[in-house]
Structure formats: C-alpha cells, structure tokens
Amino acid sequence: MNYEERLTDTQNRKDDHIKICLDEKVQFNQITNGLEKYGFVHCCLPELDYKEIDI
C-alpha cells in the first residue's frame, strides 16, 4: 500500500468518525469524568508579588 492509499484510508476513517459523531447518539447519559464536582479558582500569575509592582 503506497502513501496515497494510506492517506485516503485515513481520510475516510476520519470522515466516518465525524459523520458518526454528528449523526448518531454517541454520548453517555449517566457516565461523566467527575470534573463537575470541582471548581477551580483562576490564578494566571501565582508567582507575582503585587508589592513589587511600581506603577
């Protein structure tokens, strides 16, 4: 199998995957990853010392 045939097979599989996700019911109704139990406080610069900022 040459490169072009493999590329075509890969593209076909990806197309099939997208079609399945769009057209069929693929989500779990009850199973989750558990992250809905947690909340996170955003802290984009945790190492910043505000006392050292001179404006």
Share of the chain above pLDDT 70, in %: 95
| Residue 4: per-residue pLDDT | 63
Q: What are the b/e assignments for 20-49, b being 16+ CB within 10 Å?
A: eeeeeeeeeeeeeeeeeeeeeeeeeeeeee
Q: How far apart are CA 42 and CA 37, in angstroms?
A: 16
| Residue 20: per-residue pLDDT | 93
Mean pLDDT of the chain: 84
Q: Which pLDDT tens digit goes with each residue over 19-42? A: 999 999 887 778 888 888 999 888
3 confidence band (pLDDT: 50, 70, 90) = low
| Residue 23: per-residue pLDDT | 94
Q: How far apart are CA 6 and CA 16, in angstroms?
A: 15
Domain ranges of the chain: 3-52
Q: How far apart are CA 31 and CA 39, in angstroms?
A: 19
